[in-house]
Copies of this chain bind each other. A is one copy, B any other.
Amino acid sequence: MSEAWLEELRWNADALIAVIVQDHCSAEVLMLAWMNREALSRTVELGEAVYWSRSRQRLWHKGEQSGHIQKVREIRTDCDRDTLLLRVEQIGGIACHTGRRSCFSTRHEQARWNTVEPVLRDPQDIYSS
């Protein structure tokens, strides 16, 4: 947890860093999440994405309930070292809790937000099984 490479990142006032998650194959942006030092450390150890859930205030091993785990292929940081880019293999092909492939399914069109991507699997089905 006190590893040098962790301290070379710029953690925000809440000791978190923003994480852009991208499909390593299609390059589609799947979601934006947050990590604390422990989440990033566990992600590296496990080879699977572990985030800090700001709403639940706990570590969140992505896919722990849905099975939609993210296998980590690459971790990058940016020139300011205050953001991460995670390239992942999205197991099950669904990153979003709405049952869509990506969380970015809503497009700005003529001063409105229109959801343009299909639900691939019913969330009730995802989270009850």
Query: A126 in the interface, Cβ–Cβ < 8 Å?
Result: no
Fill in one digit per residue for A44-58: 1 if any B CB lies within 8 Å of its CB, else 0. Answer: 100000000000000
Copy number of this protein in the oligomer?
A: 2
> Binding site of A, secondary structure by majority: helix, strand, loop or mixed?
mixed
Query: Which residue of chain B has the shortest Cβ distance to A110 in the bound complex?
Result: B5
What distance in Å separates the Cβ of A81 from its nearest Cβ neighbour in chain B?
8
Contact: B32 with A76, CB < 8 Å?
no
* Size category of the binding interface on chain A: 35 or more
Query: Which residue of chain B has the shortest Cβ distance to A108 in the bound complex?
Result: B75
Fill in one digit per residue for A83-105: 1 if any B CB lies within 8 Å of its CB, else 0. Answer: 10100000000001110100111
Contact: A103 with B79, CB < 8 Å?
yes
Query: A59 in the interface, Cβ–Cβ < 8 Å?
Result: no
- Best-surrounded residue of A18, A44, A74, A76 (most CB of chain B within 10 A): A76
Q: Please measure, in the bound complex, the distance between the C-alpha atom of A74 and the C-alpha atom of B114, giving whole angstroms.
A: 12
Residues of A within 8 A of B (CB): 3-5, 8, 18, 20, 22, 26-29, 31-32, 44, 74-81, 83, 85, 96-98, 100, 103-108, 111-113
